[in-house]
Structure 1
């Protein structure tokens, strides 16, 4: 009995892997749009109030159930696609990876900020959080241009 090679399996499943990548990118970016908004509302809640406790729980669930798993699956599917598609030496992919690494760092910063909020520390202003809310949109627009146009 012939066992199919990994390359054969990946070539047959390439479009499924690509679909999975796009699906989890959407989940991740949607969560990254939503999380700073949650933090803005959280900061406006009275410290120690029931409303603040509800925001802490909402934020925790968003981070642990949606955003972090989506980020991990985005990376897994994306790296598989880059390897399978032979894009590892492409300049556009290197630029995309730099932006995705930046988004991953932003994700980490947002997770850390949420943990500070849960402890009652509010180091950033609402204005700063509103500006931070723009990061995923700008990065996503640049990534889409790199993937679709492949300028280099």
Structure 2
């Protein structure tokens, strides 16, 4: 029963983290495309900070910690599909932290990335999500 509760929490955390991963780059699009509107940009900067720090970081850590507990309780470390999932997770964590670096650059008004870049960059978590979920559902390499 404990495993199911932790799995429930893991899925909720995962969904919360992905809400940030999908929406934050969209805010960056608005930020990049409306840099001449200072009042708008100041509001967007606050939204970016709150989304990243208050939702993104805690939900990422909740996802990682609950996932680690699930691996431990389920004795999954020998499963080959899990190693692929963890590799994609590492890419996802790196992507998340890259969003933090970009946020700081936008905050300091020295980001040279365009709205088009951020639209394309916003596709990265979708691809990683598809791969991560496929590993869990189909359990390839087993």
Given the two structures, how large is their TM-score scaled by the length of structure 1? 0.89
Gaps of 5+ in 2: none
Question: What is the CA-CA distance between 1:48 and the residue it aligns to?
Answer: 7.0
Task: Answer whether contact 2:29 2:119 (CA < 8 A) is retained.
Answer: yes
Q: What's the CA shift string for 1:22-53, capped at 9, x where partnerless?
A: 00000001110000000000112235711110
The reply to whether residue 126 of structure 1 matches residue 115 of structure 2 is yes
Change (3 A) 1:48 1:41: closer
Alignment of structure 1 residues 73-112 onto 2, 5 Å = 73-112=62-101
The reply to whether residue 44 of structure 1 matches residue 30 of structure 2 is no
User: Hey, what's the Cα distance between the residues in 1 that align with 2:116 and 2:80?
Assistant: 35
* Structure of larger gyration radius: 1
Question: What is the CA-CA distance between 1:127 and the residue it aligns to?
Answer: 1.5
Give me the CA root mean square deviation: 1.1
* Paired position in structure 1 for 2:51: 62
Gaps of 5+ in 1: 1-11
Given the two structures, how large is their TM-score scaled by the length of structure 2? 0.96
